[in-house]
């Protein structure tokens, strides 16, 4: 009887210890940059936040570097909260590079200790820890350090979607890349060259050399050269462009579209801070 009581007591103590460990794990915190209200940069607060627990299809990543993209500021502003489906409080940051800490039961390709970089769709990158699914993360290239790797995902993905998914760029085609010295444009030049395309790229005077280093065949200084509007294009090009994409009237002179010949038709596009990915979206919306 006494033995049975002792056994039960030991079990209770062990169960209690597990419960405490569990509760402690759930209470684990981390440092993060948190947005409690939408607004300017002043709403970014560096503070303690709950450490995320990976779901079965997620990996917990110790973030070593997080990239900053223009969209981060848009999300922080709350201007597109409905569009992006964001709710407060939120931790911004969509590009991360780091080391997998642990994995959910359904994760098969990633394992603890892997160096990865990822585009985390629901943010959370401005923190010590973030979660990523296998579709969002992949092995970090050895040639890039963590800071360099964290600068890659979203800009490269945008360039890829525009050039490869939307324009189906292939060897021998010619592509005009506005903003070739920027985050998206610099990726676009390299992707296009790797595909065997001829690249014409624009940037300011100080970035002409960079365009060449990235692989552009022809470089154009937008401060010195004006770009043709669609009405200045030759008849065939104009018809092809029109056939490929009927751009919304308001956007017509501003956005431009990727045509099947992979030429980017835009006069004011880069000037308005728009790029191939915007053009792609505009095309998709107007179709």
Ligand X SMILES: NC(=O)c1ccc[n+]([C@@H]2O[C@H](COP(=O)([O-])OP(=O)(O)OC[C@H]3O[C@@H](n4cnc5c(N)ncnc54)[C@H](OP(=O)(O)O)[C@@H]3O)[C@@H](O)[C@H]2O)c1
Compute the least distance from the CB of residue 270 to ligand X, in Å. Answer: 3
Q: Which residues of 219-247 are buried (b: 16+ CB within 10 A; e: fewer)?
A: bbebeeeebeebeebeeebeebbeebbeb
List, in sequence order, every beta strand (DSSP E) within the chain: 29-35, 44-50, 58-67, 95-103, 115-119, 129-133, 137-139, 174-177, 198-203, 218-221, 257-258, 264-265
Compute the least distance from the CB of residue 166 to ligand X, in Å. Answer: 13
Between 123 and 179, name the residue whose CB sits nearer to ligand X.
Answer: 179
Collapse the DSSP code of 155 into the 3-class scheme (helix H, G, I; strand E, B; otherwise coil) and give the result. helix
Compute the least distance from the CB of residue 50 to ligand X, in Å. Answer: 28
Compute the least distance from the CB of residue 156 to ligand X, in Å. Answer: 8
Residue least distant from ligand X (Cβ): 182
Compute the least distance from the CB of residue 188 to ligand X, in Å. Answer: 9
CB-CB neighbours of 103 under 10 Å? 21
Question: Rounded to whole angstroms, how far apart are CA atoms 181 and 135?
Answer: 28
The pairing of strands 129-133 and 58-67 is antiparallel
Between 19 and 271, name the residue whose CB sits nearer to ligand X.
Answer: 271
Compute the least distance from the CB of residue 287 to ligand X, in Å. Answer: 19
The pairing of strands 58-67 and 95-103 is antiparallel
Between 140 and 278, name the residue whose CB sits nearer to ligand X.
Answer: 278
Question: Rounded to whole angstroms, how far apart are CA atoms 65 and 165?
Answer: 28
Q: Hey, what's the torsion of the CAs at 223, 228, 230, 231, to 10 degrees?
A: 130
The residue behind tokens 């039961």 is 105
Compute the least distance from the CB of residue 70 to ligand X, in Å. Answer: 4
Question: Rounded to whole angstroms, how far apart are CA atoms 209 and 207?
Answer: 5
Question: Rounded to whole angstroms, how far apart are CA atoms 231 and 195?
Answer: 29
Rounded to the nearest 5°, which phi and psi values hold at 47? Answer: -160, 180
| Contacting residues toward ligand X, per CB under 6 A | 69-71, 154-155, 158, 179-185, 203-204, 207, 222, 270-271, 273-275, 277
Compute the least distance from the CB of residue 267 to ligand X, in Å. Answer: 11
């Amino acid at each position: 009887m006494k033995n049975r009581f002792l056994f039960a007591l030991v079990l209770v103590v062990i169960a209690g210890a597990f419960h405490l460990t569990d509760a402690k794990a759930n209470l684990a915190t981390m440092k993060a940059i948190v947005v409690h209200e939408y607004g300017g940069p002043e709403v970014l607060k560096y503070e303690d936040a709950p450490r995320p627990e990976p779901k079965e299809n997620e990996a917990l990543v110790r973030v070593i570097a997080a990239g900053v993209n223009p969209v981060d500021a848009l999300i922080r502003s709350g201007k597109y909260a409905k569009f992006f489906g964001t709710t407060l409080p939120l931790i911004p940051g969509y590009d991360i590079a780091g080391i997998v800490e642990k994995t959910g039961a359904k994760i098969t390709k990633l394992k603890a200790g892997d160096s990865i970089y990822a585009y985390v769709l629901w943010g959370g990158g401005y923190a010590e820890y973030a979660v990523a699914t296998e579709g969002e993360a992949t092995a970090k290239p050895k040639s890039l350090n963590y800071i360099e790797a964290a600068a890659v995902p979203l800009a490269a993905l945008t360039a890829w979607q525009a050039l490869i998914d939307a324009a189906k760029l292939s060897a021998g085609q010619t592509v005009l890349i506005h903003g070739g010295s920027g985050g998206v444009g610099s990726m676009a030049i390299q992707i296009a060259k790797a595909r065997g395309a001829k690249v014409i790229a624009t940037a300011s005077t100080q970035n002409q050399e960079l365009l060449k280093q990235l692989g552009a065949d022809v470089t154009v200084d937008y401060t010195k050269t004006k770009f043709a509007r669609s009405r200045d294009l030759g008849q065939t090009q104009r018809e092809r462009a029109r056939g490929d994409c009927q751009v919304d009237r308001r956007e017509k002179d501003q956005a431009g579209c990727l045509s099947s010949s992979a030429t980017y038709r835009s006069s004011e596009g880069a000037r308005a801070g728009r790029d191939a990915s915007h053009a792609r979206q505009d095309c998709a919306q107007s179709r």
